[in-house]
Amino acid sequence: MDIYVLLKKTFDTEEKIVVSNGRIEDDGAEFIINPYDEYAIEEAINQRDEHGGEVTVVTVGDEESEKQLRTALAMGADKAVLIDTEDDLEDGDQYSTAKILEAFFEDKEPDLILAGNVAIDEASGQVGPRLADRLGISYVTTITALTIEEETAKIDKDVEGDIEKVEVPLPVLVTCQQGLNEPRYPSLPGIMKAKKKPLEELEIDDLDLDEDDVEAKTKTVEVFLPPEKEAGRVLEGELDDQVKELVSLLKDEAKVL
């Protein structure tokens, strides 16, 4: 099987976000593989081990994304591709990413493409479905189980806490949800092997694209942190008095009534 994983570099979940002059400060910040993409990597490796073939991880980002790609290789992926847009695309969006990936897959014949359900930084969940639509293949989002029998994928899809059973023909793109598997940690031998595995670097020129082709369709108007949570307030006294005070606070201070 020819299996691909879409990977994104995101802030470490332990990182404190700092906003300055309307932009997120990333100098000195730690970055990781988007956690939902780890489920995609693990599932790709499992499917390859069962059905044969190879796993290629692909990211659209900057040269610093090589670290996350090497981590995916250390987990067990076979090859990696970095599409470096740092010099050609100042502010991309989900449209830009899907357009670039569409060009990358133009001469490929994937059997299975996996991605995280969402990225924890923007959480739009758009890139996978957008790409599948552009490639003209089926897609299923938020999957929690995947079995491939011959040319058919049998999938459990999470639907607000319930499960929908889906069968689709290959090729298919799926986005992976927590519960699908338990992502492995890179082993020391895996880390050593990853240094020798192929990592191809491309730019948008290599994909016969120019800046106008991938110009963002959306614009970020403002970036800001949510207001700090105020300390809770404990109401005291008789129950009837507490109810009256609560209603008064919701109406006069919180202004939600």
CATH code for position 201: 3.40.50.620
Tell me which range, 77-81, 82-86, 204-208, 231-235, is most confidently predicted by mean pLDDT. 77-81
Of the listed ranges 111-120, 128-137, 206-215, the one predicted with least confidence:
206-215
pLDDT of residue 26: 73
State whether 235 and 151 are in the same domain: no
Q: Which residue has the higher pLDDT, 219 or 69?
A: 69
Which domain does 106 fall in, by range?
2-214
State whether 103 and 143 are in the same domain: yes
State whether 52 and 172 are in the same domain: yes
State whether 235 and 155 are in the same domain: no
Provide the whole-model pTM: 0.86
Does residue 211 surpass a pLDDT of 90? no
Please name the residues in contact with 3: beta carbons below 8 A apart, sequence gap of 6 or more: 44, 47, 48, 53, 54, 55, 56, 110, 111, 112, 113, 114
Matching residue, tokens 């599409």: 83
State whether 255 and 197 are in the same domain: no
State whether 127 and 247 are in the same domain: no
Query: Is the torsion defined by CA of 134, 135, 137, 140 positive or negative?
Result: negative
- Give dist(CA 22, CA 80) in Å, integer: 33
Does residue 5 surpass a pLDDT of 80? yes
Which pLDDT band, with edges at 50, 70 and 90, does 221 fall under? confident
170 within 8 A of 112, measured Cβ to Cβ = yes
In a domain, 233, yes or no: yes
Does residue 3 surpass a pLDDT of 90? yes
State whether 249 and 163 are in the same domain: no
pLDDT of residue 122: 83
Does residue 230 surpass a pLDDT of 80? no
pLDDT of residue 27: 75
State whether 207 and 234 are in the same domain: no
State whether 125 and 241 are in the same domain: no
In percent, how much of the chain has pLDDT > 70?
A: 100
Does residue 116 surpass a pLDDT of 90? yes
Adjacent-strand bridge partners of 81: 58, 200
State whether 257 and 182 are in the same domain: no
